[in-house]
Amino acid sequence: MALIGRKRWREVLKRIVAIIQSLAERNVALRGSADTLYHPNNGNFLKEVELMAKFEPVLKHHIEKIGSRVGNMTTFLGKKYIQNELISAISEQIMEAMIGEIKVCKYFSILLDCTPDISHTEQLSVVRMVSVDIKPQVKEHCMGFLEAEASTGEQLSALILKRLEDLNIPFDDCRGQSDDNGANMRGKRKGVQARLLAINPSFICAVCCSHVKLGGG
């Protein structure tokens, strides 16, 4: 019985991993505002689980067994348990692939934006655009959300440089940078643009026009 149980959990895990990989490959968010199966706002991950369970017997049996009790550790679906471990492991592999792609292309640009989350903590998103493959094309990779203690030019530029260093991506190869052109970004002496240009004068700063249009209503 123990072997049968382990085999069943292994098969459930394979399907959960496949769903996470599918969402990650398409840069689709996993979580919603609810963590309960069959809730209208439970996010893409649980919606994919529900969809697969309609046609696939292993997940169908698993869902029928656990009902809507997603908070239980043994479901493998709770936000506090193995689902997040799987997401972290998969994200590390994806990050390694993206970094390898950037290094093959050598030159890259960065797109920066800062916004407060639900806890009113400023979060800085860093996206690099790279031309790759035989036929050149522009790709955008979100390299993470960084928590900013302050939104000053000094703090944000240090955060960007630290992130690049952690990823082992040379800032000297950066050839472009775009942002929302806020005061903390465009300041001639203390803004992010000025601080980064002082280190690497080879890249060009540009305003994100879409951001300006959205912000301007």
What are the chain's domains? 2-93 (no CATH), 106-215 (3.30.420.40)
d(Cα 13, Cα 1) in Å, to the nearest integer? 18
pLDDT band at 195 (very low <50, low <70, confident <90, very high): confident
pLDDT band at 131 (very low <50, low <70, confident <90, very high): low
Determine the residue type at 180. D
User: Which pLDDT belongs to residue 79?
Assistant: 59
Pick from 73, 69, 91: which is nearest to 82 by CA? Answer: 73
Q: H or E stretch including 128?
A: strand 122-131
pLDDT band at 122 (very low <50, low <70, confident <90, very high): low
d(Cα 182, Cα 125) in Å, to the nearest integer? 15
For 104, the token pair is: 């093959």
Per-residue pLDDT averaged across 15-26, rounded? 88
In three-state secondary structure terms, 175 is strand
